[in-house]
């Protein structure tokens, strides 16, 4: 199963990607997570990556393509993967076509959420300052993470950066939807629902395509 999840920041891609990964036994590949790790390292790449992320801008297509190509060539991704956060531009979508040549069908699921709801969610989202997990997933009712870290606002979820990320989504990432719509590989699900309901809808969208019956 080769699956891409697309949606604005705060649409719930990461949460849903975790669920599908578990249900299908394929790795979730989150470029946001890969980049946050890269930004915390000490090499030269870290400076460029951290700067773009803090400003809510995209990291360059070249850097992204190299990172994703490397990750997709690891053995655990050979029988499928879920991409969360890539492609974010039409150029990246074209690069992905090249990377995936001969690897079977690609399905793209858009998780659609209105802008006001996205801004509300980003203002409320808290992540663990130590391990980076979403509070909702780790310990929704506790004040500390199971790893002992505190929950904090993600630095790029502040209002100014969140607005910029949304603008970048509308201008640069939304055209990717048309790119896949034209070839018939796009499905859209309503992301403005409870996470369980969104998961069921994603299941309905992908299970028949990859020839599997619902397990939830
Ligand atoms: P969200 O989906 O909530 O905006 P992510 O964790 O997926 O957040 O990404 C955070 C940031 O990482 C983005 O705002 C951007 O700076 C960078 N990033 C992630 N994926 C890509 C990509 N495919 N191309 C360029 N930059 C990316």
DSSP letter at 183 equals: T
Q: Which of 14, 28, 29, 32 to mutate to test the pocket of ligand 1 (most atoms within 8 A of CB)?
A: 32
For residues 72, 6, 38 and 101, what is the CA-based torsion angle, rounded to 10 degrees? 20
How many CB atoms sit inside 10 A of residue 187's CB? 17
Report the separation in Å between the CA atom of 35 and the middle of ligand 1, taken as the mean of its atom positions.
8
3-state class of 62 per DSSP?
Answer: helix
pLDDT means over runs of 10, the chain (216 residues): 96 95 95 91 88 94 94 95 97 97 95 95 92 86 91 91 95 98 97 96 91 57
Report the separation in Å between the CA atom of 211 and the middle of ligand 1, taken as the mean of its atom positions.
31
| Ligand 1 atom at minimum distance from 87 CA | 23
Give the neighbor-by-neighbor strand order of the sheet with 28-30. 28-30, 81-84, 2-6, 106-112, 186-190
Reported as a single tens digit per residue, the pLDDT across 188-199 is: 999 999 999 999
What's this model's pTM, rounded to 2 decimal places?
0.91
pLDDT for res 211: 77
pLDDT for res 216: 45
| Ligand 1 atom at minimum distance from 53 CA | 16
Residues 6+ away with beta carbon under 8 Å from 141: none
| Ligand 1 atom at minimum distance from 56 CA | 14
DSSP letter at 58 equals: P
Report the separation in Å between the CA atom of 32 and the middle of ligand 1, taken as the mean of its atom positions.
5
pLDDT for res 45: 86
d(CA 14, CA 25): 16
Which residues have a catalytic role annotated?
Answer: 13, 88, 125, 154, 165
pLDDT for res 66: 93
Any residues with Cβ below 6 Å from ligand 1, and which? 9-10, 13, 31-32, 35, 52-53, 56-59, 64, 85-86, 88, 92, 156, 165
pLDDT for res 213: 56
């Amino acid at each position: 199963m080769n699956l891409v999840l697309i949606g604005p920041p705060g649409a719930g891609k990461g949460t849903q990607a975790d669920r599908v990964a578990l249900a299908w036994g394929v790795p979730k590949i989150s470029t946001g997570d890969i980049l946050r790790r890269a930004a915390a390292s000490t090499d030269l790449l870290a400076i460029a990556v951290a700067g773009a992320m803090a400003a809510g801008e995209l990291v360059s297509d070249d850097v992204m393509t190299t990172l994703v190509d490397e990750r997709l060539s690891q053995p655990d991704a050979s029988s499928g993967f879920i991409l969360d956060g890539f492609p974010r531009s039409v150029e990246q979508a074209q690069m992905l076509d090249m990377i995936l040549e001969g690897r079977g069908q690609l399905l793209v699921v858009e998780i659609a959420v209105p802008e006001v709801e996205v801004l509300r969610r980003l203002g409320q989202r808290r992540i663990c300052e130590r391990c980076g997990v979403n509070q909702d997933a780790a310990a929704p009712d506790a004040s500390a993470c199971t790893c002992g870290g505190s929950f904090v606002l993600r630095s790029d979820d502040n209002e100014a950066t969140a607005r910029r990320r949304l603008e970048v989504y509308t201008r640069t990432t939304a055209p990717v939807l048309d790119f896949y719509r034209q070839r018939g590989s796009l499905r859209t699900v309503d992301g403005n629902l409870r996470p369980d309901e969104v998961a069921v809808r994603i299941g309905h969208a992908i299970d028949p395509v990859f020839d599997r019956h619902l397990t939830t």
